[in-house]
Copies of this chain bind each other. A is one copy, B any other.
């Protein structure tokens, strides 16, 4: 059943039927009711391909996931973000086009999406230092929103959490407990958020005159095994840390495993603070929060980012909008005073 047939069945023109269905005012209410009833009865749904061609809008938003050879570290985080964004898209009638590309091909993918008009806007996640994607998207003149930010962070739309402040606060918390040998197990160094977190960490240490220990700082994809391996190495090495700061719950879980292997009890023998994205399947709150953590729901971020992007698509000529979310520190069972040796 297509529009033509429906119109014929109703003895109306396609125009009128189309307008009736799309809520235009120049149709008599009686006619509209008749059309809507017939459409419903016939299970009519406008062909989205035709509609997209006619309107010139794709009603689709693109998420491009770069598959870096080894890690796909965004993985656990991108999934929750995606779900948050997807909720909003569904509500607003947008489709979500998910595009997996091998790392070097991101440019090509963006150009392609822009040229063939299959999306109205693009969501960018986890920007790196001077991320080339941002310049490219500006050039392509495609609405986009960045989750995170980079560089001077002006001239484009983004939403980010206050990473520096969060990690400064977390570090302060550990320093207040008497820890000085604090390890930072961070994400890959190229990511902007990793750099900001490290900066917050360093600032807090510097403010107390504590110097960071290079052998207690590690950067890599935020996996459980990375947490495990780096914690194991640090704990078994010289000058072992008394506390860890981890960029993700997943890393913290690895650290916990390394601690357990060595018979160390979190909160007593060893302290751990992590950043908690509030992943739905790694709830940190059961039985009191397991980890002391800076927390910010990545899913809520996805929702908000989607809203901002849609807003931008609907009205592309507004000045760039930015949103910076502050982050709570929740005290859990994984931290305690520095053990006196």
Among the stretches A29-37, A48-56, A167-175, A196-204, the one at the interface with B is A48-56
Docked complex: A77-128 residues within 8 A CB-CB of B: 78-80, 82-83, 86-87, 89-90, 95-101, 111-112, 115-118
Report if A223 contacts B (CB, 8 A). Answer: yes
Partner of A95, one of B118, B224, B250: B118
A56-B224 Cα distance, complex, nearest whole Å? 46
Per-position 1/0 for A42-60, Cβ under 8 A of B? 0111111111110010101
Report if A188 contacts B (CB, 8 A). Answer: no
Are A75 and B281 in contact, with the CB atoms below 8 A? yes
Partner of A115, one of B45, B75, B76, B95: B45
Among the stretches A209-217, A253-261, A312-320, the one at the interface with B is A253-261
List the B side residues contacting A112 at CB < 8 Å. 45
Report if A280 contacts B (CB, 8 A). Answer: yes
Are B99 and A95 in contact, with the CB atoms below 8 A? yes
Report if A41 contacts B (CB, 8 A). Answer: no
Report if A20 contacts B (CB, 8 A). Answer: no
Report if A232 contacts B (CB, 8 A). Answer: yes
Given A49-B58, A83-B100, A116-B47, A75 and B224 contact (CB-CB distance below 8 Å): no
Indicate the size class of the contact surface on chain A.
35 or more
Report if A239 contacts B (CB, 8 A). Answer: no
Given A75-B281, A283-B225, A67 and B87 contact (CB-CB distance below 8 Å): yes
A257-B221 Cα distance, complex, nearest whole Å? 23
Report if A25 contacts B (CB, 8 A). Answer: no
Report if A324 contacts B (CB, 8 A). Answer: no
A253-B232 Cα distance, complex, nearest whole Å? 18
Are A283 and B53 in contact, with the CB atoms below 8 A? no
Are A287 and B228 in contact, with the CB atoms below 8 A? yes
Given A86-B98, A87-B100, A232-B287, A222 and B281 contact (CB-CB distance below 8 Å): yes
Report if A65 contacts B (CB, 8 A). Answer: yes
A132-B71 Cα distance, complex, nearest whole Å? 37
Are B116 and A75 in contact, with the CB atoms below 8 A? no
List the B side residues contacting A207 at CB < 8 Å. none
A116-B89 Cα distance, complex, nearest whole Å? 17
Report if A328 contacts B (CB, 8 A). Answer: no
Are B86 and A90 in contact, with the CB atoms below 8 A? no
Give A contacts to B, CB under 8 Å.
Answer: 43-53, 56, 58, 60, 65, 67, 71-73, 75-76, 78-80, 82-83, 86-87, 89-90, 95-101, 111-112, 115-118, 221-225, 228-229, 232, 250, 253, 256-257, 260, 265, 279-283, 285-287, 290
In the complex, 25 of the A-B residue pairs with CB atoms within 8 angstroms, ordered by the A residue number, are A44-B115, A45-B111, A48-B116, A48-B117, A49-B52, A49-B118, A67-B83, A72-B83, A75-B83, A75-B280, A75-B281, A76-B79, A76-B281, A78-B79, A89-B100, A90-B100, A95-B118, A96-B97, A96-B99, A224-B282, A228-B290, A229-B286, A232-B287, A250-B281, A250-B282
